[in-house]
Amino acid sequence: MVNDDYVIGVDFGTGSVRALLVDAHTGDEIAISEFEYPRWKKGMYCVAAQGQFRQHPLDYIEGLEHTISKVVAQAGASIAGKVRAISVDTTGSTPVAVDRTGQPLALRPEFEHNPNAMFFLWKDHSAIQEADEINAHATSFKQDYLKYSGGTYSPEWFWAKLLYVLRVDKGVAQACTTWVEHCDWVPFLLTGGTEAKSIKRGVCAAGHKALWAYEHGGLPSKEFFTSLDPVMETLRHPLFTKTFYADEPVGNLSKDWAGKLGLSTDVLIGVGALDAHVGAVGGQIEPYYLSKVMGTSTCDMMVVPTSDDVALVRGICGQVQGSIIPGMVGFEAGQSAFGDVYAWFQDLLTATMLKALRKSSVDDDNKTGLEEELTIGLLEQLGEEAAKLPLGETSELAIDWFNGRRTPDANPYVKGALFNLNLGSDAAKIYRALVESTCFGAKSIVDHFVENMVTLKGVIALGGVARKSDYIMQMMANVLNLPIKVHSSEQTCAMGAAMFASVVGKIHPNVQGAMKKMGTGYDKHFLPEAENVVIHLKRYDLYKDMGAFQEI
């Protein structure tokens, strides 16, 4: 007898949210919908030059309703009645101040246009000073609260952003009851939560971003925070005392949301998790393979069986029991800018030209057509040209720290750079240098794991960059001198969320079983090219030297 069971995975990315309705037994994608955040698309509440990147909760709420209701409608009533569970993933650390009811402050009239009352996107670097203070402060405590977070706290993370908000905005500080990750707030919203204290926190975000660890009894002590800055006294400590795995339910879909989405209140809602961790599951992560979720930034995930007793690795974004797959230790590293570097270069090449075009006397229809011709496929064209160029030791070289460095050894102060330029340095040559630099950034992560006695078997590549650019992936294989396999799914994060939902809905007994039944495997493989491995290795030494010079 064939069981008809369906699940929905919802993936909140940097610029949009996607919902994927999936057959929980086969992994077949039944329907998909995507929604671009309208306020974010307009650049509202962001000041890139100051590292400020905020998102309004209405972008998330509108996107959630639009995408899920659309996939339900596309699938039809017969399938909608057989949806068993919904799970979500989000970017992170992307926290927000909420009131006693668990409502983000930006949903209140007095805060609706206040960026400090909105979600602080993962790449918001407003809290650089606060992160520095947390790192310095941690050295004065006998308990090493940073040991499971790689030894260095980042301005991209939970506590630094909270401390920043409490310091700079008295109104938000007074109204803030607690501070909540995006991935924890969405399940609370869908289940109709009305009290902030009832929000279920996932171990994924708590362990990697909020210094949660079983080994030191949960969160750092109240004294740790209040001695850092008395402003932290305004909150109840600890903010939360328990965490949950992403294969556990938060509760049932509320009556209100069930009506909006065209679903039953019998639908279970899973504990939320970070997009990269969930994407690694959607990409069928294997022990000792580095799963690289390659988008605007990268998150590099790895799992190791608990029984292997791997030592602590300093300088990464943490290792947390059960953060990716319950029963395994999850490791996270990453690069603060990856696809963002390429997007910056495209904008550099086209921005002035497009401004001139928009001011020109060309009619509007032709302007639109010309804009598309000038921008669509530009990077792919540059990749084709760059692949034909000879590569020498003194060719153009770049440093990829355009948004600081995440791993190894987080440093938000370092900057991107270009070297070896001359009057013959054209767009293709510079693009090649930028691509190579992002691959060198990936190699520094791989080398760091190896230096800490964690040997990698290979790389699983996920995300838009991996799917779209063979040029980048081949260079990555050459630079890393490792085989790379690219997962066939274009929606590994949404699929990973669907896999977790299948466990929440008791369709599969565990995450490993869900990956086996629902995974679609790999459709591209890249092997290192020996002659290019040698030249990139020599250039990598120069990259390290120039990086060290930059960091002085």
Answer positive or negative: Cα dihedral of 193, 196, 201, 205.
positive
From the list 293, 333, 340, the residue with the least C-alpha distance to 493 is 293
pLDDT at 364: 82
Classify residue 135 by burial, with Cβ atoms within 10 Å: 0-12, 13-18, 19+.
middle
Is 0.95 surpassed by the pTM of this model?
no
| Cβ-Cβ contacts under 8 Å for 8 (sequence gap 6 or more) | 19, 20, 21, 22, 68, 71, 83, 85, 86, 87, 497, 498, 501
> What's the helix, strand, coil split of the chain in %, to 5?
45, 20, 35
pLDDT digit of tens for each residue in the chain (552 aa)?
Answer: 457 999 999 999 999 999 999 999 999 999 999 999 999 999 999 998 899 999 999 999 999 999 999 999 999 999 999 999 999 999 999 999 999 999 999 999 999 999 999 999 999 999 999 999 999 999 999 999 999 999 999 999 999 999 999 999 999 999 999 999 999 999 999 999 999 999 999 999 999 999 999 988 999 999 999 999 999 999 999 999 999 999 999 999 999 999 999 999 999 999 999 999 999 999 999 999 999 999 888 999 999 999 898 888 999 999 999 999 999 999 999 999 999 999 999 999 999 988 888 888 888 888 888 888 888 889 999 999 999 999 999 999 999 999 999 999 989 899 999 999 999 999 999 999 999 999 999 999 999 999 999 989 999 999 889 999 999 999 999 999 999 999 999 999 999 999 999 999 999 999 999 999 999 999 999 999 999 999 999 999 999 999 999 887
Rounded distance, CA 221 to CA 433, Å?
Answer: 46
> Would you tell me the crossing angle of helices 492-504 and 511-518 to the nearest 10 degrees?
130
Give the containing element (helix H, strand E) for 32. Answer: strand 29-36
Identify the pLDDT of residue 1: 41
Angle, helices 470-480/530-551, rounded to nearest 10 degrees: 80
Q: Which fold has domain 6-274?
A: Nucleotidyltransferase; domain 5 (3.30.420)
- Answer yes or no: are the C-beta atoms of 330 and 289 closer than 8 Å: no
DSSP reduced 3-state for 444: helix
Task: Name the residue with tokens 């596309």.
Answer: 74
Residues 6+ apart with CB under 8 A from 287: 302, 303, 304, 305, 328
- Label the pairing between strands 298-305 and 417-419: unpaired
Domain ranges of the chain: 6-274, 339-442+534-551
Q: What values do phi and psi take at 404, rounded to 5?
A: 80, -175
Q: Are 337 and 415 in contact (CB under 8 A)?
A: no
Angle at 212 between CA 210 and CA 217, to 5 degrees: 150
